[in-house]
A and B are shown apart, each in its own frame.
Chain A
Amino acid sequence: MTVLSLVIFLPLAAALALFLLRLGDRAAVWTWVAASAADLALVAGLWIGYDDPGVGYEENARWIPSVRAGYHLGVDGLSLPLLALTALLFLCCAVYSLKQARRTQRARTFAALFLFLETVSLGLFAALDLLLFFVFFDLSIVAMYFVIAGWGHGDRLRSALRFFLYTFFGSLALLLGFIGLYLGSSPKTFDMVELARNPPLAGSPGLADLVLLAIAVGLAVKTPTVPFHTWLPPAHTDAPAAGSAILAGVLLKMGTYGFVRIAMPMLPDAWRRYAWVIVIVGVVSVVYGALVALAQRNLKRLVAYTSVNHMGYIVLAVGAAGLAGDGAARRLAVTGAVTQMVSHGLLTGALFLLCGVLYDRTSSYDMDEYGGVAKAAPVFAGMLAVASFGSLGLPGLSGFIAEFQIFTGVIGAGTTGAAVAGGISVLGVLITAALFLRVLQRVLLGTPGTLTAEVTDAGRAERAAIVPLLALAVVIGIAPRFLLDLVEPVPSAVIALVAR
């Protein structure tokens, strides 16, 4: 057992310990914090110890040899930032839940479920075998279903069911696609590294298109892109704050990660043939997500729709990477996509936790009932302002670094169509800017609303949970080199694979 397996299964072991030791609710949440912190420290160790551009900390054990599926793990510049993001976000959610520990029902089960979800998420980003990837992909749905159904509010059962049905449909499409890749490869294997080296189905474009369709639909549901996004707003609105933060910060990344890790390198020809479709889906997601978000009164729903918009930039970038054109620009677009994954995780995670702070006081997300909150809750107001500005892409915060690279990459790809797509997408930034400024105006400034009196400032645990996320967003916004140095070998490799 190597250090990577330890990183993945440490949270699960902690979850089992919660039950075996019959810890009380408060002790359980503290254990959750301790386990997540230890895991984050381990991931930081992985980051520091990782140096060469290839696959690090590789581990390959036989699992189902008769179909050549293995327990194959490893990290590279694409997975390491996401592993770090996952570990950090889970720690922040644990810290955030400290305050709620007394009021959360069945807090021990809640903590155990999140620890299980952490194992699943870390495992997914480290998996180098399609079947193993799928195992974690599917389990993430099950765990999140129980989080929403058990600890959500509002119409939680219905939202949770819708979430399960949609994403499970996506996961089965994905499974069919994976089996297609397996059957098309020679020798037959589920190993991602081998599949990327020898792309399957190279000789039969019709089948490759079908497989790409299955995989793209599966990942698009998870991401989500228009028109598969309809599960997302209700799931987010009715999930508990920590659940929303993980859903947006980590689970959505599984979709976009899959595009870069699986769809692009393994089906390069089909990806190039349909790059246009992907670009268009990305642009539509960007504009549609932003416009619908603009129309929301419910703060949490608004943040959920901005997720559709932000994921749209990533889809746009990976689509543009398949277009013919300037290699450097396309590399930039993919770098931007990976940066956006991290940036969105940090900022939207923080935004959902902030929504949770409000809901905790007043049990309402309706923005019209607030106003003048800045006076009553200055720290909360400051954090909301930073997160909003980050999310709308203000320079100096991580969102800008990501979106700037994406737009430069897409527009610079060299074709007129790409330039038009990039141009339309810039509109998305404009609309998001407008809507976040309106949020700040309606919630923080102006005359006090009916619920403003009930809002108290963020407590210690809440600050401790949200400030690190925002601080990291600022660090990436000002000095992104440490992240970009790690990420940059990935786009070169991916673009080289797609261009085959």
Chain B
Amino acid sequence: MRENPADLLPELCTLLGAVLGLLTGMFVPRQRQWAAVLVCALGVLAGLVSAAFAVPGPRVMTFDAFMLDPVTHVTRVTVLGSTLLVMALAFKPLRGHRRETEFHVLTVFTALGTVALGASSDLLVLVAAYLLASIPSYALAGFGKDAQGTEAALKYYLMGALFGLLMLTGVTLLYGLGRGTSYETLGRNLPDNTVVTVGAILLVAGLLFKAGGVPAHFWVPDVAEGASPVVAALVTTIPKIGAFAALFRLGAEVTPHSWALTLALVATATMTLGNLAAFGQDNVRRLLAYSTISQAGYLLVPVAMAGRTDLAEPALLYYIAAYALTNLGAFAVVVAVGRDRIGDYRGLAPRSPLLVLSLVICLLGLIGTPPTAVFVGKVLMLGAALDGHYTWLAVVAAVNTVASVFYYLRWIVPCFARADEGPVPSRPAAMVAYLATALTLVLGIGSGIALSLN
């Protein structure tokens, strides 16, 4: 058994950053809490760098529960990179807030839980990671202490508690049937029968809550609208990365009975429902929330194809990284503009052409227009579905993509309308939007390099 703490260097760096940041925050005055934020950010950055250096390493299991493989590497890099972007996005709005440090520390803890979620290959560690990723984000959802935020946090918490319970039931069932909690044991021992399917569905339900998939998606629009825009960006991006990695690992290593069909149906429901609900939205945060649900549907396609085709793993990993960047870019524009109704975006183009360009690239990116990163992800995703002999799933995904054009364009068009007065965007958030947008283009055009790494 391998128990080398150096294998967990990225996680340890991040944890150390968060703890030291919290301690620093206790001792510095309110106006100088940036020092604590800096400590947190440095911890995440150190984690990101060490995660990048760990990428070429061999495929090993460490501490009997923590898998070091491409799925973990991508989860680490994507989660920690997204966390840095979210912290940059939050820096200005929270500057001088009396709980500034706490916000950033909670963000880092969410990220840490998410990484553990994606890396664990043991059901019990998975449950612990689920809690570590969830509890800080409940607090973040209600961080503003206003009526809307409190309602969002309560909904988020109740849904999380319910699905966490289902997940525990599923874990218990699978433990009983497979006589073990590690994926390796389960993959060997689980019988092929419907009870296993039921257990797997219960377990998947908990992960779907984190991923924002149907039927555990109800919290997504409420939290995206009720919490602050920065928190909305965080909860629709970071926890999903770990959840999809965990789902994929489950599918690839345990492959419970009728996994592909079940997940394909869930994917269909998720993408269709997300798209249909997005049509009528007038609030851009709700619109983006439903868009993230439909994106979760596309991401479930490679999860369903886990183990059926070699394309599934690169498809999922590439798509999740591309999605995280693009979604953060779109939310960064919302943070920069600071308004929520689609009508408020009228006249933005003449005032801040670059910001609108970023928005257009991000939204077209979410549709899957080349040469953005999501395009390559979508090609791989459709390829995985076709190669896994699920042609109908590829067709459903394609039709849903066409339908999604409609509501993304509904948001783009008013930006170019003429208006006498309009919002004045905040610069720091706009910089994050530019950065995320540029990265989606770089990742899309340089996809060959990114794909050859894993």
Chain A residues with a Cβ under 8 A of chain B: 62-67, 131, 134-135, 138-139, 142, 145, 149-150, 157, 161, 164-165, 168-169, 172-173, 175-176, 179-180, 182-183, 210
Distance A164 CA – B413 CA, assembled complex (angstroms): 13
Nearest Cβ on chain B to A58's Cβ, whole angstroms: 19
| B383 part of interface (Cβ distance < 8 Å) | yes
Main secondary structure of the interface of A (DSSP, over half): helix
Verify A173–B383 contact, CB threshold 8 A.
no
Verify B383–A183 contact, CB threshold 8 A.
yes
Nearest Cβ on chain A to B359's Cβ, whole angstroms: 13
Specify which of A62, A63, A138, A183 is in contact with B386 (CB 8 Å cutoff).
A183
Specify which of A66, A138, A210 is in contact with B314 (CB 8 Å cutoff).
A66
Verify A210–B391 contact, CB threshold 8 A.
yes
Verify B448–A149 contact, CB threshold 8 A.
no
Nearest Cβ on chain A to B166's Cβ, whole angstroms: 35
| B402 part of interface (Cβ distance < 8 Å) | yes
Q: How many residues on chain B are close to A (CB under 8 Å)? A: 30
The B331-385 residues at the A interface (CB cut-off 8 A) are 364, 367, 369-371, 375-376, 379-380, 382-383
Verify A66–B383 contact, CB threshold 8 A.
no
Residues on the A chain within 8 Å of B383, using CB: 67, 179, 182-183
Question: Would you list the 7 A-B pairs with minimal beta carbon distance, nearest first?
Answer: A135-B370, A172-B398, A64-B448, A66-B451, A169-B402, A179-B383, A63-B448
Residues on the B chain within 8 Å of A180, using CB: 386
Residues on the A chain within 8 Å of B364, using CB: 142
- A164/B448 contact (C-beta < 8 A), A135-B370, A169-B402, A179-B386 known: no
Verify A183–B387 contact, CB threshold 8 A.
yes
Given pairs A176-B382, A176-B395, 4 additional interface contacts (CB within 8 A): A64-B448, A168-B367, A169-B402, A176-B394
Specify which of A165, A168, A179 is in contact with B379 (CB 8 Å cutoff).
A179
Residues on the A chain within 8 Å of B371, using CB: 135, 139
Q: Contact string, B397-411, partner A, CB cutoff 8 A, digits 1/0?
A: 011011001100100
| B452 part of interface (Cβ distance < 8 Å) | yes
Q: Contact string, B260-296, partner A, CB cutoff 8 A, digits 1/0?
A: 0000000000000000000000000000000000000
Residues on the B chain within 8 Å of A161, using CB: 406, 409
Verify B451–A138 contact, CB threshold 8 A.
no
Q: Contact string, B432-454, partner A, CB cutoff 8 A, digits 1/0?
A: 00000000000000011001100
Verify B448–A175 contact, CB threshold 8 A.
no
The residue of chain B having its C-beta at the shortest distance from the C-beta of A180 within the complex is: B386
- A168/B391 contact (C-beta < 8 A), A135-B370, A142-B369, A179-B379 known: no
Residues on the A chain within 8 Å of B53, using CB: none
- A138/B369 contact (C-beta < 8 A), A63-B448, A175-B379, A176-B395 known: yes
Verify B398–A157 contact, CB threshold 8 A.
no
Residues on the B chain within 8 Å of A150, using CB: 416
Nearest Cβ on chain A to B452's Cβ, whole angstroms: 6
The residue of chain A having its C-beta at the shortest distance from the C-beta of B376 within the complex is: A64
The residue of chain A having its C-beta at the shortest distance from the C-beta of B381 within the complex is: A179
Q: 9 A-B contacts, Cβ less than 8 Å apart?
A: A63-B447, A65-B451, A66-B451, A134-B370, A164-B405, A169-B402, A172-B399, A176-B386, A182-B383
Residues on the B chain within 8 Å of A131, using CB: 379
The residue of chain B having its C-beta at the shortest distance from the C-beta of A161 within the complex is: B409
Nearest Cβ on chain B to A222's Cβ, whole angstroms: 14
Verify A175–B386 contact, CB threshold 8 A.
no
Residues on the A chain within 8 Å of B380, using CB: 67
Nearest Cβ on chain A to B342's Cβ, whole angstroms: 14
Distance A172 CA – B376 CA, assembled complex (angstroms): 13
Distance A383 CA – B8 CA, assembled complex (angstroms): 75
- A65/B369 contact (C-beta < 8 A), A165-B402, A168-B402, A172-B401 known: no
Distance A284 CA – B395 CA, assembled complex (angstroms): 28
Residues on the A chain within 8 Å of B367, using CB: 168
Distance A134 CA – B382 CA, assembled complex (angstroms): 14
Nearest Cβ on chain B to A189's Cβ, whole angstroms: 13
